[in-house]
Amino acid sequence: MEGNRLPCRKRRNGVARGRRVVGLTKEVIMSAVILALLVLAWEAGARSGLIPRFLLASPSEAMLYMMSHPRVVMSNFATTAWEVLLGLAAGASAGVLLGILIFYSAPIRKMMYPLLVASQVVPKVAVAPFLLLWFGYGLVPKVVITALMSFFPLVLNTLLGLTSVEPDMVDLGRSLHAPALRMLSKIYLISALPHMFAGLKTASTLSVIGAVVAEFTGSQAGLGYLILMGLSYGETPMMAAALVLLFVLGVVLFVAVDVTERTAIQWYYLERENR
């Protein structure tokens, strides 16, 4: 795409749709307001004594905890964020590669499919202790669990994207004797991008779950570790702070994927809007 801005048609109210990558719409503002109201209700509940402090700290206490322990908060946030990023990157790349392999080779498809399903049927939480046993308490088991969580949506969606390329398009390539690799890079993969991004969105939310599950099983750092620590010391503000930060991490990750998608496959949305 060479990063060029696409031209676009003016829409009703003179709003040029499609050019906007992310923007404040009424709907976005509404959901922010609802979120704010929920937080306020939580705060009010905590202050009025409706929610006992030993069960759940108030949002303001969570904020206070973050401000008074910036170093603890930052380093544990960074640990989890790093696990999530590495795991998601590894899982997503493996997923795309596997999707391509399965697409091109019927034997691999027949061989891999049961294994793939098996890998998804076994609960990842149950696998975590084994990985801990094999790889220790460090970064590796967290990345592996996160990758295991996030690769499956990409396998499925890559495969779906590749198989939904128009048959006539394939014939066009065949009539040109185009080499398979060139066909893959110029037609198949680009056509599959919308599906792959859908998979990546699902994977991005799963990856945070994966990292926290891994941390619960055994760790010495991370937001999941903070929650467990808070639990054992009765430090509810610490728990609330970690929870808020996990929320922030998940949202930032999702929005990052969403923005990348809208920039990378702008053609897809423009095509659909103007159909």
Sequence-distant (≥ 6) Cβ neighbours of residue 99 within 8 angstroms: 154, 155, 156, 157, 158, 159, 162
Instruction: Please state the closest distance from residue 214 (CB atom) to another protein, in A.
Output: 38
Looking at the Cβ atoms of 4 and 232, the one nearer to another protein is 4
Looking at the Cβ atoms of 51 and 264, the one nearer to another protein is 264
Cα separation, 24 vs 11, whole angstroms: 17
Instruction: Please state the closest distance from residue 3 (CB atom) to another protein, in A.
Output: 13
Instruction: Please state the closest distance from residue 103 (CB atom) to another protein, in A.
Output: 19
Cα separation, 124 vs 179, whole angstroms: 40
The SS3 assignment for 51 reads coil
Instruction: Please state the closest distance from residue 117 (CB atom) to another protein, in A.
Output: 25
Lookup: tokens for 210: 């994966």
Q: Given the rule CB under 8 A, which residues bind another protein? A: 1, 6-7, 9, 166, 168-169, 171-179, 182-183, 186-187, 190, 265, 267-268, 270-271, 274-275
Looking at the Cβ atoms of 71 and 275, the one nearer to another protein is 275
Instruction: Please state the closest distance from residue 181 (CB atom) to another protein, in A.
Output: 11
Instruction: Please state the closest distance from residue 1 (CB atom) to another protein, in A.
Output: 7
Instruction: Please state the closest distance from residue 266 (CB atom) to another protein, in A.
Output: 9
Tell me 56's DSSP state: -
- In 3D space, the residue among 184, 35, 30, 34 whose CA is nearest the CA of residue 104 turns out to be 184
Cα separation, 237 vs 230, whole angstroms: 8
Looking at the Cβ atoms of 9 and 19, the one nearer to another protein is 9
Looking at the Cβ atoms of 85 and 178, the one nearer to another protein is 178
Q: How far is CA 200 from CA 59, 123, 137, 197, in A?
A: 31, 21, 27, 5
Burial class (CB in 10 A: 0-12, 13-18, 19+), 195: buried
Cα separation, 28 vs 104, whole angstroms: 41
Looking at the Cβ atoms of 1 and 111, the one nearer to another protein is 1
Phi, psi angle pair for 143, to nearest 5°: -65, -40
Looking at the Cβ atoms of 7 and 123, the one nearer to another protein is 7
